[in-house]
Amino acid sequence: MDLRRLILALTIASALISLANTYYASFQVQRQQLIENTLESNHAYATKLAASTEDFLAGVQQQLRISAAAITANFQTKNILKIETERLRLQTDSFNSVVVINQDAKVLATSPETLQLKGQTLETLGAVEAVKSKKPLISQPYVSAVGNLLIFISHPIFLDSGEYVGAIGGTIYLKQASILNHLLGKHYYNDGSYIYVVDKNQRIIYHPEINRVGKVVTNNLVINTLAEQGSGKKQITNSQGIEMLAGYATVPTTGWGVVAQRPKSATLAALDSLMAKVVSKILPIALLSLLIIWWCAKLISKPLRQLADSANAMDKPETEQNIQKVKSWYFESSELKRVMLVGINILHKSINKLKDDVQTDPLTGLCNRRGMELALSLWKTVKTPFSAVTIDIDFFKRINDTYGHDVGDLVLQQLAQHMRDVSRADDVICRVGGEEFLMLLPKTNSQTAAQVAERLRSQVESSIFDYAGKITISIGVANWPDSSNEISVVLKAADQMLYKAKRCGRNRVEVFLSDHVTHDVDTLINKDSPTK
């Protein structure tokens, strides 16, 4: 991966992670805020409705108290009782029905008369409790004598002498239209929000689904908490498995619990739309930012990329001119450009000096030891791998002793020519001793070097040297850095292979491999090639 792609990838990744984190954090904060606001709103609403219900109950109890006082003096006058019950029911529409009972719970008057309760003795919960307690009372829900589920609100009737003679009471039907339904039912919403009311025994006395009125609710966290806390707010799951945000409060007089709740999904529905709008606003800016980042990454990486390309062509004559053209507009690239120009000047000087010193051996025209050292130093600097091929003439002393040193010199010159014939233009050929030679083959592995060495050995073996006739050579091969990371060790390894070739009968090639196992050239060449 080049620098431009790296900068772009890191910047985009950072931007996307930051954007995602911001989006997620914003989503969570907004989500929690909506939930908290809804819970608080429902709690406030339930508290308000509980207070309104309390006020209503106080009001109807006051109506009953006034009516009880009004009929005290005429308690035995049936017509007066009839008129008062009718007035009380119709004047405020607070009750579904009104009755007057005596101390034995016998009905003396009723409105409406269609109930046909007059003269009957009531044994229902509300009536029995009223005459028994002899005080103002709001009953628990129960089924009346005519089959209605209702609440009975009553007030005792005492004569001026203090004698208890009965009670006047009104009923509020729970499963039919009533003042309670009107008070609570107008708060029903279309988004799934609703209100319900339970009594102290966890029986539902109001619910928008009329068929649920009268049922006892169990395993409901809010209703279970009502008796302990009185008011509060909670997230719950209702009987239908829907997550709800509920606020609740208690009616002090009766202990009824008013619960206002809203589906969690309805509360969070607005959040999805809100976050979609946030994304739609952020996306164009994000795309523009990415475009700017891409352009900046390209601008930053361009000079470094040009310098990197030039670094791969340091030995070419046009490289210096190419580096000069690079626009290094920031410090790091400017410093790299300067150092590369210095380096390339040093490199060219070294190359020129090497070329000047190559023809230093007056007899063979090959490189001497100094030229060898310059080549090795250069290749080590630019990390160019190479193979070292050491060559020695077998029984060269015998040639000098038999034919004289002049013939020996001719043999050295002709051998040098054979070495040139099998080498490339970039190879460095050195005479490092009397009859010892060294071929340095850049960018060449051990196997290829062994093939070159074998080709030279075979060529020398089949040639006729002036005045000396046939000669043979022994060769050792090693590679840098495969044989060793130290160049001196590699040269020594090549010498060791040369000595081994001599010990093994001369006129052969021995190779030092990276696994420190030596092989003769036939084994190495035949291992990977069908031909020698």
CATH number of the domain within which 231 lies: 3.30.450.20
Query: What whole-number percentage of the chain has pLDDT above 70?
Result: 91
What's the pLDDT band for 532 if we cut at 50, 70, 90? very low
Q: Clarify whether residues 211 and 339 are in a common domain.
A: no
CB neighbour list of residue 245: distance below 8 Å, 6 or more residues apart: 35, 38, 39, 42, 233, 235, 261, 262, 263, 264, 267
CB 2 within 8 A of CB 305: yes
Q: Clarify whether residues 7 and 135 are in a common domain.
A: yes
Cα–Cα separations (whole angstroms), residue 275 to 183, 270, 280, 282, 350: 38, 9, 9, 10, 67
b/e sequence 325-340, b meaning 16+ C-beta within 10 Å: ebebeeeebeebbeeb
**Residue 516: CB atoms within 10 Å:** 9
Which of 357, 382, 414 is the last residue in one of the domains?
357
Q: Which residue has the tokens 């030039």?
A: 310
Q: Does residue 1 have a pLDDT over 70?
A: no
What's the pLDDT band for 529 if we cut at 50, 70, 90? very low
pTM of the entire predicted model: 0.54
- Mean pLDDT (the chain) is 85
What's the pLDDT band for 273 if we cut at 50, 70, 90? confident
The reply to whether omega before 136 is within 30° of 0 (cis) is: no
Q: Is 239 helix (H, G, I), strand (E, B) or coil?
A: coil
* More confidently predicted of 344 and 163: 163
CB 169 within 8 A of CB 155: yes
Q: Which residue has the tokens 């908490």?
A: 225
Q: Is 21 helix (H, G, I), strand (E, B) or coil?
A: helix
pLDDT given at position 352? 64
Q: Does residue 429 have a pLDDT over 80?
A: yes
pLDDT tens, position by position, 70-83: 899 888 888 999 99
SS3 content of the chain, % helix, strand, coil (to 5): 50, 20, 30
The span from the CA of 259 to the CA of 250, in Å, is 9
pLDDT given at position 285? 82
CB neighbour list of residue 293: distance below 8 Å, 6 or more residues apart: 8, 11, 12, 15
Read off the pLDDT of each residue in 205-215 and give the average, rounded to a whole number: 86
CB 471 within 8 A of CB 460: yes
- What is the H or E stretch that residue 440 is in? strand 436-442
pLDDT given at position 348? 67
Highest mean pLDDT among 111-125, 182-196, 324-338, 380-394: 380-394
What's the pLDDT band for 278 if we cut at 50, 70, 90? confident
* Active-site residue, from 54, 84, 129, 435: 435
Q: Clarify whether residues 305 and 430 are in a common domain.
A: no
The span from the CA of 506 to the CA of 502, in Å, is 4
pLDDT tens, position by position, 93-139: 889 999 999 999 999 999 998 888 888 999 888 899 999 999 999 99
The span from the CA of 129 to the CA of 135, in Å, is 9
Least reliable range by pLDDT among 202-211, 357-366, 411-420, 498-507: 357-366
What's the pLDDT band for 354 if we cut at 50, 70, 90? low
Cα–Cα separations (whole angstroms), residue 449 to 135, 178, 440, 441, 521: 121, 109, 9, 7, 10
* More confidently predicted of 279 and 233: 233
pLDDT given at position 171? 92
pLDDT given at position 254? 86
Q: Clarify whether residues 351 and 478 are in a common domain.
A: no
pLDDT given at position 4? 67
Q: Does residue 419 have a pLDDT over 90?
A: yes
Q: Clarify whether residues 401 and 346 are in a common domain.
A: no
b/e sequence 247-272, b meaning 16+ C-beta within 10 Å: bbbbbeebbbbbbbbbbbebbbeeee
CATH of the domain at 517: 3.30.70.270
Q: Closest Cα to residue 494, out of 513, 516, 475, 477?
A: 477
CB 89 within 8 A of CB 83: no
Give the domain range for residue 57.
1-311
Q: Closest Cα to residue 136, out of 185, 169, 159, 88?
A: 169
pLDDT tens, position by position, 249-267: 998 888 888 999 888 888 8
Q: Does residue 437 have a pLDDT over 80?
A: yes
CB 105 within 8 A of CB 121: yes
What's the pLDDT band for 2 if we cut at 50, 70, 90? low
The span from the CA of 283 to the CA of 295, in Å, is 18
pLDDT tens, position by position, 46-58: 899 889 889 989 9
Domains: count for the chain: 3
Q: Which residue has the tokens 């209100």?
A: 195
pLDDT given at position 525? 53
Q: Clarify whether residues 278 and 374 are in a common domain.
A: no
Q: Does residue 355 have a pLDDT over 80?
A: no
* Known catalytic membership, residue 435: yes
Angle at 387 between CA 384 and CA 389, to 5 degrees: 145
* More confidently predicted of 128 and 278: 128
Q: Clarify whether residues 388 and 470 are in a common domain.
A: yes
Q: Closest Cα to residue 248, out of 48, 34, 52, 54?
A: 48
Q: Does residue 20 have a pLDDT over 90?
A: no
pLDDT given at position 351? 65
pLDDT given at position 521? 54
pLDDT given at position 306? 78
Q: Clarify whether residues 10 and 104 are in a common domain.
A: yes
The span from the CA of 88 to the CA of 385, in Å, is 115
pLDDT given at position 488? 92
Q: Which burial class, exposed, middle or buried, applies to 362 when counting CB atoms under 10 A from its CB (0-12, 13-18, 19+)?
A: exposed
Q: Clarify whether residues 300 and 319 are in a common domain.
A: no
Residue 144 φ/ψ, nearest 5 degrees: -75, 180
The span from the CA of 40 to the CA of 43, in Å, is 5
The reply to whether omega before 112 is within 30° of 0 (cis) is: yes
CB neighbour list of residue 212: distance below 8 Å, 6 or more residues apart: 196, 204
Q: Does residue 296 have a pLDDT over 90?
A: no
Q: Clarify whether residues 317 and 238 are in a common domain.
A: no
Q: Clarify whether residues 328 and 369 are in a common domain.
A: no
Rounded to the nearest 10°, the torsion over CA 156, 161, 162, 165 is: -40
pLDDT given at position 413? 93
pLDDT given at position 524? 56
What's the pLDDT band for 528 if we cut at 50, 70, 90? very low
Least reliable range by pLDDT among 212-216, 317-321, 323-327, 450-454: 317-321
Q: Which residue has the tokens 């990390």?
A: 383
pLDDT given at position 216? 86
Q: Clarify whether residues 151 and 286 are in a common domain.
A: yes
The span from the CA of 118 to the CA of 115, in Å, is 8
CB 98 within 8 A of CB 170: yes
* More confidently predicted of 285 and 472: 472
The span from the CA of 39 to the CA of 249, in Å, is 12
Highest mean pLDDT among 5-9, 190-194, 260-264: 260-264
Query: What whole-number percentage of the chain has pLDDT above 90?
Result: 36
**From edge to edge, which strands make up the β-sheet containing 436-442?**
428-431, 436-442, 386-393, 473-480, 509-512, 518-520
